[in-house]
């Protein structure tokens, strides 16, 4: 009797189309909440990397955040210590000497999640390392950023870096910054989750409070010219009310781009930080998580816009 009832229910579900509608419903829910709603094929990843033209490399997407292992600080040799001391003196009463973390292991990018072994340093020490390192072998610094989306106003939030920025001044980028390893100067830092870095940096630079969920899509971008290793969280949602309270800060100005103008700006503008542009392209390729139900960019779906911008496969 039970088998007959289950058979009838199965036939009814298929007859009214619930077997197709229920998965579609949950897919829409994930999209509206900023969860993963698409993937990046190896072919499309290669297309993005071709557009980066050697300035950076895209890895992922990943289902989990990278694991972080922070190692104790290490004494520099006399030359590096002298460089660092001079930089600390220059920074005194002018700018903070923030903590950073060097990536010191050979990262297995195909692992999910990848693992990072980190060495804690301060900004003065980082500047010293950059001074003595070749331009094509800059120290690798772990960072995180967030591509923030307001589905209600159909726009994304970007950051125009200040003219005094050490890297890519006055250029457009997603919002983020360096990972703070725990234990420097008695500070707790960002702990064991790199998403804490993105949340903290977004608040510091815009006063916006965002939530990054485990399901939020993530890729990693290696910026070869600067050494930054950026964990990018794609499609972090913000509502229209929170958007009204966004603020600028000394590190740059916030820039809102509407969905309808995004394609032209990606195609025409030359003032993008390469990894910022790559993060937006990866987001479009993944069907714009966080952008709401059936988002359109002009009259195009996000994956259609990506295909046009990325060129022939």
pLDDT digits (tens, 9 = 90+) for 53-104: 999 999 999 999 999 999 988 888 888 889 899 998 888 888 888 899 999 9
pLDDT confidence tier of residue 37, bands split at 50, 70 and 90 = low
Type and span of the H or E element at 123 = helix 123-132
Taken in order of first residue, the domains within the chain and their CATH numbers are 39-65+141-310 (3.90.79.10)
Mean pLDDT of the 189-200 span: 94
pLDDT confidence tier of residue 12, bands split at 50, 70 and 90 = low
Name the more confident of 135 and 147: 147
Q: Is residue 242 pLDDT above 50, yes or no?
A: yes
Q: Is residue 185 pLDDT above 70, yes or no?
A: no
Q: Give the model's pLDDT for residue 17.
A: 57
Indicate the range of 48-57, 126-135, 257-266 predicted with least confidence.
126-135
Q: Give the model's pLDDT for residue 2.
A: 46
Side-chain half-sphere CA neighbours of 251 within 13 A = 21
Q: Is residue 231 pLDDT above 90, yes or no?
A: yes
Mean pLDDT of the 238-243 span: 91
46 CB-contact burial (10 Å; exposed 0-12 / middle 13-18 / buried 19+) = middle
Q: What angle do CA 219, 208, 127 make, to 5 degrees?
A: 60
Q: Give the model's pLDDT for residue 146.
A: 98
Q: Give the model's pLDDT for residue 91.
A: 87
Q: Is residue 186 pLDDT above 90, yes or no?
A: no
Q: Are strands 141-150 and 115-122 parallel, antiparallel or unpaired?
A: unpaired
Q: Is residue 153 pLDDT above 80, yes or no?
A: yes
Alpha-carbon span 74 to 64, nearest angstrom: 29
Given a contact cutoff of 8 angstroms between Cβ atoms, the answer to whether 13 and 19 are in contact is yes
């Amino acid at each position: 009797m039970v088998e007959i009832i289950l058979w009838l229910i199965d036939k009814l579900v298929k007859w009214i189309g619930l077997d197709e509608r229920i998965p579609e419903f949950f897919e829409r829910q994930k999209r509206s909440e900023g969860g993963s709603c698409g993937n990046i094929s190896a072919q499309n990843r290669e297309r993005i990397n071709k557009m980066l033209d050697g300035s950076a490399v895209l890895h992922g997407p990943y289902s989990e955040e990278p694991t972080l292992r922070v190692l104790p600080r290490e004494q520099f040799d006399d030359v590096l210590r002298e460089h660092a001391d001079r930089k600390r003196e220059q920074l005194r009463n002018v700018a903070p000497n923030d903590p950073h973390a060097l990536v010191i292991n050979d990262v297995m990018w195909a692992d999910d999640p990848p693992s990072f072994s980190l060495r804690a340093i301060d900004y003065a020490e980082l500047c010293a390392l950059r001074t003595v390192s070749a331009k094509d072998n800059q120290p690798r610094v772990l960072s995180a950023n967030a591509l923030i989306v307001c589905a209600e106003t159909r726009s994304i939030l970007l950051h125009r870096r200040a003219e005094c920025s050490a890297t890519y001044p006055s250029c457009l980028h997603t919002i983020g910054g360096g990972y703070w390893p725990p234990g420097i100067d008695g500070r707790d830092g960002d702990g064991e989750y790199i998403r804490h870095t993105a949340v903290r940096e977004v608040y510091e630079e815009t006063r916006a409070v965002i939530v990054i969920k485990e399901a939020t899509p993530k890729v990693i971008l290696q910026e070869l010219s600067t050494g930054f290793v950026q964990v990018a969280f794609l499609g972090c949602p913000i509502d229209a009310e929170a958007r009204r309270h966004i603020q600028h800060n000394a590190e740059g100005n916030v820039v809102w781009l509407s969905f309808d103008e995004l394609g032209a700006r990606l195609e025409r503008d030359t003032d993008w930080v390469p990894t910022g542009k790559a993060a937006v392209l990866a987001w479009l390729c993944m069907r714009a998580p966080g952008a709401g139900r059936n988002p359109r960019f002009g009259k195009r779906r996000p994956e259609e816009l990506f295909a046009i911008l990325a060129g022939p496969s």
